[in-house]
Amino acid sequence: MTIDAPGGIAVVETTTSTNGRESAGYVDWAAIFAGIVFASAISLVLISFGSAIGLNFVDFDSRQDAPVWLVGIAAASWFLWVQISSFMAGGYLAGRLRRRHFDASEDESDLRDGAHGLLVWAGALIVGAVLAVGGIGAFANAAGSAAATATIAASNAADDDMALDPNAYFVDTLFRANTPVDPGMARDEAGRIFAQAALSDGVVAPDDRTYLANVVAANTGLTPDEAQARVDQVIANVEAARQEAIEAARIARNTAIIAAFLLAASSLVSAIGAYWAAQKGGNHRDKETVFADVFRRF
């Protein structure tokens, strides 16, 4: 390019050094990846450290009366702190390493720094979700294999007495007799009676109660009243176990709901922390801040 100028005046043509930056875009992926790696590493270290401390304090002999809710609050608080602090550290590193486009205003630069912090947060969440899904999948496969093995074993053991037959209970009622029953057959039939009761809210029919009492009296030598009392006690124990299982399922469901809510809330708080920390990292980058009091040079 030729520029005409009056005699005696030197004209120097300059080129803008930011053309390469403009063509590269405003997103600094190298800084984002560095922040994701840094956040993931800090999270892994702190979670491992917290797990070690938690396992060190677990003593089932001396802490049988330790409140479960207190342990849950402590674990949730530690996880919340680890998540927020690791995302803030990753966001700060991304903001500090991001190459600034100097044609942007100060407010625009802060916004871009914060956006890089949010990208670190999003990327780390995706990495964590992939790892979590992989771990859950492996656990589910192992549990499924164990369940399949147990089911096959139970099926093989029950082939002789047709315990898996859905009509077995009704067939038993068809051939009930007043004479004593073989103890092995009595056990199997009692199991089918309790299984049928479980399908009807744990209620054992009066006829089944009477029949069980007669069979118990015939095979144990107890009086009818003692046999009836034993049957009633066993039915009460079965119902208590059933209620405990229902209560455990309810607690597990509520715990899963609370955990999901806390995870979502902590993730949103972590996003805010990563955005703010990335802006702080960008400000320290522009001011060339050196933490001399923390990291002294020798």
Tokens of 159: 């082939």
The confidence score (pLDDT) of residue 54 equals: 63
CA distances from 205 to 45, 64, 225 (A): 58, 39, 18
Q: How is 147-192 classified by DSSP, letter by letter? A: HHHHHHHHHHHHTTTTTT-TTHHHHHHHT--SS---HHHHHHHHHH
Q: Is 133 helix (H, G, I), strand (E, B) or coil?
A: helix
The confidence score (pLDDT) of residue 293 equals: 60
- Delimit the domains of the chain by residue range: 27-156+266-287, 160-245
The confidence score (pLDDT) of residue 154 equals: 40
The confidence score (pLDDT) of residue 107 equals: 86
Distance of alpha carbon 283 from alpha carbon 110, whole angstroms: 8
The confidence score (pLDDT) of residue 2 equals: 47
**Segments of the chain with pLDDT less than 70:** 1-24, 53-69, 71, 103, 134-181, 291-298
Tokens of 17: 């050094």
Distance of alpha carbon 294 from alpha carbon 198, whole angstroms: 66
Q: What number of residues does the chain have?
A: 298
The confidence score (pLDDT) of residue 171 equals: 55
Query: Which are the contacts of 281, defined by CB distance < 8 A and separation ≥ 6?
Result: 91, 92, 93, 94, 95, 96, 97, 98, 113, 117
